Amino acid sequence: MKVSVIVPIYNVERYIARCVKSLMEQTLQEVEYIFVDDCATDKSMDVLKRTLNEYPNRKSNVRILKHKENQGLPAARNTGLKSATGKYIFHCDSDDYVESDMLKRLFEFAEEQHADYIWSDYYVSLIDGSYYKKQPGYVDVDQAFRGLLCGEMVYNVWNKLVRKDLYNNIFFPSGNAMGEDMTMIMLLACANKVAYLHYGGYHYVTTNPGALTKKICNEKSLKELLYNIKRTSDFVSEKFGNRYSYELSCFKLNIKWSILAFNNDIKSYKLWHDSFPEANVYIFKQNVSIRIKLVEWCASKGLYWLVKLHYLLVIKFFYTITGK
C-alpha cells in the first residue's frame, strides 16, 4: 500500500459520514483505511458501516479495529499504527474531512521530493465559514524543526504525510491526550528530508473555538499537557544536546502560555511558575506580542494579581463579546 489512513472514532455520529465519504472518494487508489473504534457510545459505528457500504470498491482496503474499553485518542492512533502496512502514514480526525485529491497530491509530491515528512496548508472550518491557513515553506529539516518548535508551523497530526519508517519506536502518549500532537515534533527530529506542499486539502472542523479553553482549565488536561511538553523536550535534548536550547525554551513558553491565558486561579499560576522555569530567561527573546511577554514576566515574578487582571480585562472580556 502507498498510504495508510488512520481514523480514531469516538462519539462523532454527526460528522463521521462526511469524513468517510471524503476518504472513500480519494483519487489515490492504493490506500489502506484503518478505523479504530475507541468504544463509541453513540451511533458512530453504525453510521460508519452504513457509509462504507456505499463504496464496495474500497471494501478490501478497509479495516475496522475495536478497543475493548475506551483508551483515548493517542491509544487509538497507536492501535492503527501497529496494523498499518502503507509506505506513508496519514492521520485524519473523524470530525474533519479532506479534498478528494489530497492523498494523491501528498503522496506524489513526497515521492517526487524523496521526502519522508511532508506538510501542507489547511482550512479551519467554523460554523459561519472557513479560512485558509498557509504554512511556512521550509526547505530543510533544521529550518523546519526550528520553526515547529517556535510555533511558526503547527505540529498537528492531520496536515502531514510521514513515512512509516519514522515511527520506529515513536508512539503517541497513551493516557495523555492533551498535547499528543507534539509527537509530530519527535517524528520531524528523525526525518532526513522534508518538503512543503502549497495546497490546502484538509478541513479542520471546529464548531466551538472556545472548547479548548475549557479543556485547559481542567486539572487532568493541565497535567497531560505538561507531561507532553517534558516528553518532547527530553526527546529533543537527548537527541541533539543543547543545539535547540533557544527553540525548546520558546516551545515551552508558547505551550505554557495557555495555562496563564485560560486560567484565573493561583494554583494554575503557580503551576506555570514551577514548570520549566529554565525557559523564563527567554521571555523577552521570543517572537510573540509584548502583551504576552509582560504577562509571562509578571507570572515569573509572582505578580499573580496582574496576571489575573489580564485574564479579567482581556481574555474573559474577549470571549464574552465574541460568544466563544
> What burial class does residue 236 get, using C-beta atoms within 10 Å of its C-beta: 0-12 exposed, 13-18 middle, 19+ buried?
buried
Among 82, 116, 69, smallest CA distance to 6 is for 82
- Rounded average pLDDT over 185-194: 98
Amino acid at 195: A
> What burial class does residue 68 get, using C-beta atoms within 10 Å of its C-beta: 0-12 exposed, 13-18 middle, 19+ buried?
exposed
The set of cell numbers assigned to 313 is 480585562
Question: Per-domain residue ranges for the chain?
Answer: 3-205, 211-322
How far apart CA 286 and CA 292 sit, in angstroms, is 10
- Rounded average pLDDT over 128-156: 95
Q: Band of the pLDDT at 218, cuts 50, 70, 90?
A: confident
For residue range 118-139, what is the model confidence (pLDDT) as tens digits?
Answer: 999 999 998 878 999 999 999 9
- Rounded average pLDDT over 235-250: 97
Q: Does the pLDDT value for residue 38 go beyond 90?
A: yes
Residues across the chain: 324
pLDDT at res. 144: 98
The β-bridge relationship of strands 117-126 and 129-133 is: antiparallel
Q: Does the pLDDT value for residue 155 go beyond 80?
A: yes
CA distances from 110 to 98, 105, 167 (A): 18, 8, 17
Q: Band of the pLDDT at 295, cuts 50, 70, 90?
A: very high
pLDDT at res. 215: 59
- pLDDT higher at 45 or 222: 45
CA distances from 40 to 32, 65, 98, 207, 208 (A): 22, 12, 22, 20, 21
Q: Does the pLDDT value for residue 321 go beyond 60?
A: no
**What average pLDDT is seen over the chain?**
93
User: What top-level class would CATH report for the domain 3-205?
Assistant: alpha beta
pLDDT at res. 317: 66
pTM above 0.85, yes or no: yes
The set of cell numbers assigned to 248 is 525548546
Q: Does the pLDDT value for residue 45 go beyond 90?
A: yes
Question: CB of 47 within 8 A of CB of 19?
Answer: no
Q: Band of the pLDDT at 217, cuts 50, 70, 90?
A: low
pLDDT at res. 225: 93
Question: Which value, in Å, is the radius of gyration of the alpha carbons in the chain?
Answer: 20
